[in-house]
Amino acid sequence: SQKIEQNSEALNIQEGKTATLTCNYTNYSPAYLQWYRQDPGRGPVFLLLIRENEKEKRKERLKVTFDTTLKQSLFHITASQPADSATYLCAPHRPDGSGNTGKLIFGQGTTLQVKP
């Protein structure tokens, strides 16, 4: 069955450093991979999407890579700030055969704590 693994241990880093979060998947061939941010008591919020034919995607201080050979995505936050503290969820994804969005299965999330 499809399995998605993210670092289960919280990641603690100092402000200004680069945070790197990992998402590994097995028994799955996603065409896309989405990353979401979730703050305590709130619903997840979409951040970035990367396609299987894209090696890297950037948005402001965020960078995502997608390696379909390693079955892994890395999520980087450069120049991290305390406001970046949250849980980050990955969701490998493939639209269904009818062209509909299909279901999104999420990893368990990695909690990032940025200390001032």
- Is 99 or 116 the residue whose CB approaches other proteins more closely? 99
Measured between alpha carbons, how far is 95 from 112 in angstroms, rounded to an integer? 29
- Is 28 or 32 the residue whose CB approaches other proteins more closely? 32
40 φ, ψ to 5°? -55, 130
Residue 30, interface with other proteins (CB under 8 A)?
no
Q: Using CB under 8 A as the criterion, what x/- string covers residues 56-95 for binding other proteins?
A: ---------------------------------x---x-x
- Is 80 or 111 the residue whose CB approaches other proteins more closely? 111
Nearest partner of 64 among 107, 109, 19, judged by Cα: 19
Q: Which two tokens stand for residue 64?
A: 């995502």
Q: Using CB under 8 A as the criterion, what x/- string covers residues 3-22 for binding other proteins?
A: -x-x----------------
Q: Could you tell me if 114 and 80 are in contact, meaning their C-beta atoms sit under 8 angstroms apart?
A: yes
